[in-house]
Every structure is written in structure tokens, then in C-alpha cells.
A and B are shown apart, each in its own frame.
Chain A
Amino acid sequence: MRNDSPAKIYALHIGVLALLFALNFVLPDYHQGLFARIMALAVFAMGYNLLFGYVGLLSLGHAMFYSAGLYGAGLAVYHLGWGVPEAFVAGIACGAVLALVIGLLALRTSGVAFMIVTMMFAQVFYLLILYFAAWTGGDQGLVVQQASRMITIGGASLDLTNSTVRYMSALALFSVVLLATLAIVRSRFGRVLVAIRENEERTKMLGYHTVANKLAAVVASGAICAASGAAYALLFGYIGSSFASVQYSILPLLWVLLGGAATTLGPLIGTLFMYYVTDITSGFTSAYLLIVGVALILLVLFAPKGVLGSIRQRWLGWLP
């Protein structure tokens, strides 16, 4: 372990969260909305990072966990008329159960086979959404009505369509997941995961049940991604099959690679950067996928460690 400095680490993370909190009051309306979206999606990237960065398992199917949360929460509100908190929990539960099943199957494979198997399961999930279009809305998607996106606690009610409430809810979820990731990474469990990434055979030899640890990581990763999807459905009120397509499995990979795999803050940086790049360039070109493609190739060629990974290597060895 590198020389550990918990004070610096906590100060950095609290600082980032405080900055995001302050931004709510400074940002113009448009960017406030964009930031809420980015924080919700950064949670998705953090969930992906837990598996890809720390365990070294490259999944090409995380869109299914994200959309399990999206549909789990969205359909519970749309069809069953559930309240927001129950629907949110339902979304996470859907993602966790799906991750458990997929993990049990996919972890029998490794390397390239793992990528293809996860991609195929995600494809099946995507096609199922299209097949049951009567309930899911298919590729048209469904709009969750504003009236059903309210939280009533006691006498007070929170309207999730209000921009400040939306921003703060996204920030709350982001903070919880960021601190949880930090706690996981610094815990015993997190170190076992990194050990598995570095040398699975040796970890097994040291007496760790590697499959059980990997399965736990898949479930945690799936649950976090589902939380992001559920939050997206409830905060932005739209669920659609495009969120389950292959592209949404590739995007978190890109965000994490860009920000820096196996860094706690990398997913946020990657998501923020890519989101603004596409937002700015969409003004004069529709070739959004071209940018994604070029970014992927340049990253694997020249900066496989990403922004924070490179910074950690050069200057700040203590970054978690």
C-alpha cells in the first residue's frame, strides 16, 4: 500500500461534494439541468468502475443493469402507481437481482468470453424490452407523469421536477455512492478485489474465495448502476429502450477510461468531460458518435490510464 493519508483523501472528496453543492446556486438554468443529469450518469460510471477498474472485469453489458433500474422504478410508478421512494428501491432491487443471476452465469467465463457473454445478455434484455412493448412502450418509451414524481413526507412534499430539488436529489445520490465507493475501495473487500485484478491465482492461493468476491462486486456494481437508472427515470421522467442498447454499455466504459479507471473521482471527470464535449460539438455537427469513436481509440492508444490515473502516476500517488 502506498503511504496512506486519510485526511487528504477525505478533504478532497468532501471538497468536491461541497463544490458541486455550491454550483447549484451559481450555474445558469441550462447548466444546472445538465449537471443534474451528469451526476446521475456519473453514478452509472462509478458502478461500472467498481467492476472494471477495481476487479478488472470488462463488461460490455452494463446497460442492462442501468435499464433494470430505469424500468424497475419507472414501470412501478407508471403501471402500479407506486410512490417515488418505493419505486427507487424497487429499481435497485431489480438491478441487484439481475446482477446476481448474470454474475452467477457470466463469472464462469473470463477475459474475452466474459465481454461477449455480458454483451449478449444485455442484447437479450434489450430485445425483451422491445418484445414486451405493450408494457414497456418499446422504442417509443414512456413518460412518467409529473404528478407521480412527488415525494410526500409528513406534510411537506418535494416536487422532483423542480430544478433545485432535482439537482439536490442527484447530488445526494452521487454523494452517497461516491462515499460508498471510497469506503469499499479502502476496505478489506476492496483490497481483495484489487488483488484479484492483479493476480487471481495468487489471491486464490492466499485463501480468498475469489468467485464469491467477484460475485459480490458484480452485484454491488449492478445495484449502483440500477440506482443511477432508477434516479434517471424518477428525476427526468422518461424511460425508453435506447437506454438498454449497446451504446449505453459502451458509454460508461468510455467515461471511466477517460476519467481514469480505478480512481474514485475519475468517473465524474470522464462523464462531465464527455457530456460537455458532445453538448458543445452538437451545436455544429451531428457526428456525435465520431467523437466517441475517436476518443475511445485515442484513449487506449495514448492514455490508457485516463486523466486521474495519469495524474496519480505522475504527481499524486495518494489518490484513491
Chain B
Amino acid sequence: MHFGPHLLLAALEGLVTSAVLALTALGLSLVFGVMRIVNVAHGEFFMLGAVLAWAISTAISGHPAVGFVAALVIAPLLVGLVAFLAEWLVLRRLNYNPESTIVATIGMLYIIQQLALTFYGPEARPVEPPFSYRILLPWFGYSGYKLSVVAASAILLVLTWLVLTRTRIGLIMRATQYDRETAQAFGIPVERIYAGVFAVGAMLAAIAAVLIVPISQAHYLMGQDPLLLSFIVVIIGGLGSLRGTVVAAILIGLADGIVSMFFSPTLAKIIATLVVAMVLVFRPQGLFGTTQR
């Protein structure tokens, strides 16, 4: 293959990464923005979504599409329930103190990871894609499923944006994000909003995982990379900024796809992590964010 098609392939792969990353990071950003807490267990909710997707799709016989659709509906709901319980049992009692919640979510990370290892095992297992149509480009064939992942992610992102900006619940969420005390004084049930946001954030990660699991397999350690990448995206994109998150996700995803096709993936990760740490040190509001108040 020549350089041009090679680059196109890298860019397409990067775009798929971006699509999944944008959803995952959006979940992290929502929780980070509205509740002001860092959810270190976010990657594990992603992993849990993928593992549950495997469990559900293997439990249902028949056409792979049936199992996949069932997984796409049920897995995020289950993950949302787990997140809701975690919020209710642990985070609420900590009064959302940033440092205690980090320690607590680190604890959740270990618990979820270990339970997945115990009950699911150390193997990586595939989920069959709902359809296997190949789009024939002049230079190579490309999986139609991968492109549909990009489309699905775009639709979900637009939906989230509409909910946040055009509905009453979105308004309430933004009010809580802007000023918790005042929102409470106006009769907004802040605790219920927090529980909901935490569950929705986890569900977004789970949906992203279900979408990606037919491409990359389900594994109990698969939550680590999305967590780090989501942090990077949220930091580069600026806190609580949906547009920044999406732009940063596309940027990071494409860069990751292209750089790791031409260079050593470890080196790519080193440079990316170092750059982001420097951004956080010298421009803490993110590249696209503005200083708050």
C-alpha cells in the first residue's frame, strides 16, 4: 500500500477510536463538571459494559444482531444501576469531598476489576458484530460496522447536547453545575441530580464499550487505557465543556491512530501523557476552556 491509503486507513481507525473516546470522555466530563469529583472508576464502568455485553450476547441465541441489540440496551442499564448504588452507598456519604471521593473511586476500581477477573476470567472474549458488511474502497475494504460505530456515537453526542441545552432537566443540570448552593435554594433536588448524573456518566462509558466490543475483545483490564485517554480528553477539552470534549476526543483519537501506526505505541503514549501533564501544569483551564468565575 502507498502512503496515502495507509494514512487514510490510520485516519479511519483513529476516527473509530475518537468516536468511542468522545462518548467515554463525555461521561467523565459530565461527572467531573456537575459533581466536581474525579471518577477514577470510570474506566471500570467501561470494562463492565463490555463484559456484560459479552455475557448478554452469548446468553441469547439466534442472529448476532439480536444479542447485540439486547446487550446495547441491557448492559448500560445494569452499569447505570451499579453506578447509582455506588453513588448512593459511598459518594453521598463522603459529601462529595474531592480527595475522599478519589480514594473511594480507586477502591471501586479495584473491586470491580477483581470481581471481573474472578467471575469473567483473564481471557479476552469477542462479541460477534451485528452485521458484517464490508465497504469496498478503491484501495482496501473497510468494515461497515466500524463506520456505523462512528455514526452511532455522533447521534448519541448530538442527543446529549440537545438534552443539556434544550430540555428542563438539562437546565437543572447546568444550574447545579454552576452553583450547587443556589440551585438547592431554588428547590432543585441536588442529591437526586448527582445520583442521576453519576449513573448517566457510567452509562455513556458502558454504551461506548458495547459499541467497541465487536471490534476489540472484552477483557478485565480493558478499562485502563480509556480512563487515561478520557482524562487527557477532558483536560485538553476543558472542564465541563461538551464542545471541547468532542474536539479533543477527535484530536486525540486521530493522533493516537496515526501516531501508533507509524511509531511505537509506547513512545506515543509517553509523549501524549507528558504533553497533557504539561497542559495541566501550565494551562489548567484546558486548551479550549476559559477560566471559570
Q: Which of A115, A294, A296 contacts B38 (CB 8 A)?
A: A115
Cα–Cα, bound, A121→B278 (Å): 9
Which one, B99, B114, B276, contacts A58 given CB within 8 A? B99
Q: Is the CB of A296 within 8 A of B235?
A: no
B280 near A290 (CB under 8 angstroms)?
no
Contact, CB under 8 Å: B281 / A117: yes
B132 within 8 A of A: no
A residues near B264, Cβ cutoff 8 Å:
131
Q: Are B282 and A108 in contact (CB under 8 A)?
A: yes
Segment touching A, from B104-112, B178-186, B204-212? B104-112
- A interface, by DSSP: helix, strand, loop or mixed? helix
B78 within 8 A of A: no
> CB of A250 within 8 A of chain B?
yes
Say yes or no: B266 contacts A127, CB within 8 Å. Answer: yes
Q: Which A residue sits closest to B94, measured CB to CB?
A: A300
Known contacts: A116-B280, A300-B103. The answer to whether A130 contacts B110 by CB under 8 A is no
**Which residues of chain B from 255 to 273 have any CB-CB distance to chain A below 8 Å in the complex?**
264, 266-267, 269-270, 273
The answer to whether B266 and A295 touch across the interface, beta carbons within 8 angstroms, is no
Determine whether B284 belongs to the interface, using a CB cutoff of 8 Å to chain A.
Answer: yes
User: A112 to B38, Cβ gap below 8 A?
Assistant: yes
Which residues of B are found within 8 Å of A289, using beta-carbon distances?
110-111, 113-114
Min Cβ gap B188→A in Å is: 24
* Shortest Cβ distance from residue B233 to the other chain A in the assembled complex, whole angstroms: 13
| Cβ distance A129 to chain B, nearest Cβ, rounded Å | 10
**Residue among B100, B231, B278 having the largest count of chain A Cβ atoms under 10 Å:** B100
Residues 81-105 of B, flagged 1 when their CB comes within 8 A of A and 0 if not, give: 0000000001001100011101110
Given A58-B102, A109-B280, A289-B110: A116 and B38 within 8 A (CB)? yes
- In the bound complex, do residue B273 and residue A290 qualify as a contact, i.e. CB atoms below 8 Å apart? no
A6 within 8 A of B: no
A290–B114 Cα distance when bound, in Å, is 6
Q: List the A residue with the shortest CB-CB distance to B101.
A: A300
A: interface residue count bin: 35 or more
CA distance A115 to B38 in the complex (A): 10
Give, as a whole number of angstroms, the nearest-CB distance from A143 to chain B: 23
Contacts A290-B111, A290-B114, A304-B100; A123 near B280 (Cβ below 8 A): no
- Whether a CB of chain B sits under 8 angstroms from the CB of A292 is yes
The answer on a CB contact under 8 Å between A296 and B103 is: yes
Instruction: Output the residue of B90, B277, B280 with the most chain A CB within 10 A.
Output: B277
Determine if B270 and A131 form an interchain contact, defined as CB atoms under 8 angstroms apart: yes
Contact A111 B273 (CB under 8 A): no
A306 to chain B, nearest CB (A): 12
Instruction: Check A109/B107 contact, CB under 8 A, given A124-B273, A131-B270.
Output: no
In the complex, are the beta carbons of A293 and B110 less than 8 A apart?
yes
A105–B281 CB distance below 8 A: yes
Smallest CB separation, B272 vs chain A (Å) = 10
Q: How far is the CA of A186 from the CA of B277 in the complex (A)?
A: 35
Q: Does A11 contact B (CB under 8 A)?
A: no
- A120–B118 Cα distance when bound, in Å, is 29
Task: Check B108–A287 contact: CB distance below 8 A.
Answer: no
Q: Does B169 interact with chain A (Cβ within 8 Å)? A: no
Chain A residue numbers with a CB within 8 Å of B267 are: 131
Contacts of A130 in B (CB 8 A): 266
Complex Cα gap A121–B98 (Å) = 20
A257: which B residues are within 8 A, CB to CB?
103
Q: Are A293 and B273 in contact (CB under 8 A)?
A: no
Could you tell me the distance between the alpha carbons of A51 and B288 in the complex, rounded to whole angstroms?
32
A297 near B102 with CB under 8 A, answer no
Q: How far is the CA of A128 from the CA of B118 in the complex (A)?
A: 31
Q: Are the CB atoms of A106 and B281 closer together than 8 Å?
A: yes
CB pair B110 A124 closer than 8 Å: no
Known: A293-B111, A300-B94. A131 touches B100 (CB 8 A): no
Q: A111-B99, A121-B277, A301-B94 are in contact. List 19 more A-B contacts (CB 8 A).
A: A58-B102, A105-B277, A105-B281, A115-B38, A116-B38, A116-B231, A116-B235, A117-B280, A123-B273, A127-B269, A130-B266, A131-B264, A257-B103, A290-B110, A292-B110, A293-B106, A293-B108, A294-B111, A300-B94
6 closest Cβ contacts across the A-B interface? A293-B110, A296-B107, A293-B111, A297-B107, A290-B114, A120-B277
Residues of chain A touching chain B, judged by Cβ–Cβ distance below 8 Å, are: 58, 60, 105-106, 108-109, 111-113, 115-117, 120-121, 123-124, 127-128, 130-131, 250, 253, 257, 287-290, 292-297, 299-301, 304
